Amino acid sequence: MASAREAAEAPAPHPIVEAAARGILPAWAEVTLERRGHIVRVVTLLNAWARAAGVALAERTRWLAAGWLHDALRDAPADRLRPWLPEPRTDWPPQLLHGPAAAGRLGAEGVRDEELLTAVAYHTLGHEGFGTLGKALYAADFLEPGRRFRSRWRAELRRRMPAEIERVTEEILAARLVNLIERRSTIHRETLAFWNAMVRHGRP
């Protein structure tokens, strides 16, 4: 019989989440070899940060699964992604669909971990509801060392992780907003809401 302490611990992860944390993607994943390299680098960062932050094993399993699953549909054509979107989002360009589609597909298969689903769905845009998992995935996706821009700045941000996760996430988000503004791009409402939530959260 489980002790009271064991009973209070997190429930067992969904089998898809448990497998993903071990690097086994669902059969429906569509990932090129190159993309797999990116995913492995993201997962490597998440694993290092989770260990450095001393998060519990069950929590680390969720971080690793989010890392593996975030781009599970990144190389699928848009017409295979649209049926899995939770709501029709006509303002989302094709390159943003893979997150919500992966989350939709995971939900359809019984994954009920809302924090993980939100992290996967909005890893491109950010989301005001991000907890630590969502911020860690957002940061790891941006900071993984295989990307070829602003290498020194990103290495410095990696060095500050995970201790300064709030500040680092905010700096990444600010840089992305500045980039969008300089290009006179529109800004998705999720990204603006993420910024507002970050700065409100960081206020004394």
Q: Is 71 in the site for Fe ion (CB under 5 A)?
A: yes
Give the count of residues interacting with Fe ion (CB under 5 A): 2
Q: Is 144 in the site for Fe ion (CB under 5 A)?
A: no
Q: Is 141 in the site for Fe ion (CB under 5 A)?
A: yes
| Binding range to Fe ion, per CB under 5 A, among 64-72, 78-86, 131-139, 193-201 | 64-72
Residues 34-63 that bind Fe ion (CB under 5 A): none
Are 168 and 101 spatial neighbours (Cβ–Cβ below 8 Å)? no
Residue 27 structure tokens? 């059969």
Residues 147-186 that bind Fe ion (CB under 5 A): none
Torsion sign over Cα 196, 197, 198, 202: positive
| Binding range to Fe ion, per CB under 5 A, among 66-74, 111-119, 150-158, 196-204 | 66-74
Q: How far is the CB of 39 from Fe ion (least distance, A)?
A: 7
Residue 88 structure tokens? 């029709």
CB closer to Fe ion, 141 vs 190: 141
| Binding range to Fe ion, per CB under 5 A, among 19-27, 104-112, 137-145, 184-192 | 137-145
Q: What does each C-alpha distance from 186 to 56, 64, 79, 181, 190 come to in angstroms?
A: 39, 32, 24, 8, 12
First to last CA, the chain: 46
Residue 6 structure tokens? 């064991």
Place of tokens 């492995």: 40
In the complex, the residues that contact Fe ion under the rule CB under 5 A are 71, 141
